[in-house]
Structure 1
């Protein structure tokens, strides 16, 4: 009798454990991994050096996207990853034509139901500019994450693999939806509009100095603490899908003893817009003001920005923008003010409307 009861108890226990194991297996099988596409453009993350200690003087953009993916097999546990080689360049060579090609490909992919997010591998020199451009023209709430590295793939302590893993993790994360284009390096998440490269070689070079990062990636999970307040992606008025070129917009850098030569040359080259990276609060040196005023009278749009790197350029502060018919660049860096002015000129040449855009995006 005792034997029968023991046998029945053992059978019941075995059945219970089997059900638990089956349920766990079924739950694991039901977890659907996000589909993330990696668009590779080159840069240091795809670079190689002569030795494992070469961290400067290496050759960028030599490793293809499939090799990058194969180097981080752990990504297959967090996403269904596919890759495309869009460009293979060092990012100092990134041009308007590259941006248009990239933006169109991103929009096309994100319109597909089988793509949940996109990672773009990119050189760090102009990564912040590409990120802001995409932040203004991507027409989807799905995550778009730009990632790079400060050391080539052959370095003994290369940061690229971990950065790429985090980027894929972030691109597939529900918490990243609707936050605009993101930049992730060194376990830190920054927004495209405000992030900038702050150091020539250190790993923690990408920062948002005044406003702060959006969050961290810790323990395989993104943690967000704030969101970008300015409109982006689906909320913008810019559409590049039918554009074959962008208006020529240049930057003139102010300094002690600056003269009008650069401004006059840029205008003569056919610039439709000009960002003046002024000193202080976007001040206009006496030798420069007449050249900028003359350029505006010729139809060139002028944006007053600052070389300082932080702070707002106040409208009608260091110059009478109303009288000069200039646009104040708000707190955008000169390189990002150039991007917004380019896109603004695809919509209008009205300075009041363009000023509105600078306060909106």
Structure 2
């Protein structure tokens, strides 16, 4: 049995007015014949990356687990890149198999000069069947780089090198078609797939922010992620509302900068990280805001208590 490919749409499949299915995608990739076995193709209803949902992603995760149990050495998922960093992290939270699950896509569609989808799909398939990639969880293969889902981010709107891991760099590369894993990051135990839906918001702090906007935004939420300035700061006017919100639901503090960790005990002014954590906010660590929202939504959807949420962020952030 070969690597199983789940084709979910996105730029990689957009050929003018037509949309390529998995078989057409595979047929356009020179070099796939060098794999150990032909791809097993399982098409999903195509949808843009921006319209993916937890439910749809978790359904593919369950099907992928069945494919691995049936003998697939690894899994490839193609999708739109708009939310790829978030779907990769969600999948990594629940993926319990040693077999690699590899996400990829394209920044240029097949009608454009220099389209990158074929190269990315070949790279992803090679990673998915590679024994060297076993035990690494969910990976992203793009531009001949291999990124851990835990660290990857989309950092450019159009570049074919859009995916980067700012805090770590890629964990491996493809060199002359060979999968080279350079480091093996620690991976926490997977979580149970969430069985319910939780309403979790992401609020990005801005210059001269308005506490009324924050309060209105958070109404009716089950949890909140705050993307603060720098190492986890907010305007002083937001301190009281955030403390009140943290008293009724989990509120996670992250940084809007795109790299680096929030601090715990460096600054002490009103609105500093020390002030906010002392008011009950949860330290998001190195998790960027989009990942923190995925984790919080998954935890709350699984029925986690506030202490369990705090413990999970302490372990994974």
Residue equivalent to 1:248: 199
Q: Does 1:359 align with 2:314?
A: yes
Contact 2:136 2:187 in 1 (8 A): no
Distance 1:304 1:168, change over 3 A: same
Structure 1 residue 137 displacement after superposition: 0.3
Residue equivalent to 1:148: 105
- Select which of 160, 174, 199 maps to 1:217: 174
In structure 1, what is the Cα distance between the partners aligned to 2:29 and 2:151? 29
Contact 1:315 1:327 in 2 (8 A): no
Q: Write out per-residue CA displacement over residues 171-191 of structure 1, whole angstroms, 9 at most, x where no aligned residue.
A: 001101001111011111111
Residue equivalent to 1:118: 75
Structure 1 residue 109 displacement after superposition: 2.1
Equivalent pairs counted in the alignment come to 308
Which blocks of at least 5 consecutive residues in structure 1 are unaligned? 1-33, 50-58
TM-score, normalising length from structure 2?
0.91
Distance 1:87 1:265, change over 3 A: farther
Distance 1:62 1:265, change over 3 A: farther
In structure 2, what is the Cα distance between the partners aligned to 1:218 and 1:107? 29
Q: Does 1:191 align with 2:148?
A: yes
In structure 1, what is the Cα distance between the partners aligned to 2:249 and 2:293? 13
- Select which of 192, 200, 205 maps to 1:239: 192
Q: Does 1:330 align with 2:285?
A: yes
C-alpha RMSD over aligned residues: 1.8
Q: Does 1:64 align with 2:21?
A: yes
Q: Write out per-residue CA displacement over residues 197-232 of structure 1, whole angstroms, 9 at most, x where no aligned residue.
A: 11111111111123111111011110111122242x
Structure 1 residue 140 displacement after superposition: 0.6
Stretches of 4+ aligned residues off by more than 6 angstroms? none
Structure 1 residue 316 displacement after superposition: 4.8
| 1:77-92 pair list within 5 angstroms | 77-78=34-35, 79-92=37-50
Residue equivalent to 1:42: 9
Structure 1 residue 286 displacement after superposition: 1.7
Residue equivalent to 1:349: 305
Name the SS for the 1:35 alignment partner: coil
Residue equivalent to 1:180: 137
Name the SS for the 1:140 alignment partner: coil
Contact 2:5 2:77 in 1 (8 A): yes
TM-score, normalising length from structure 1?
0.81
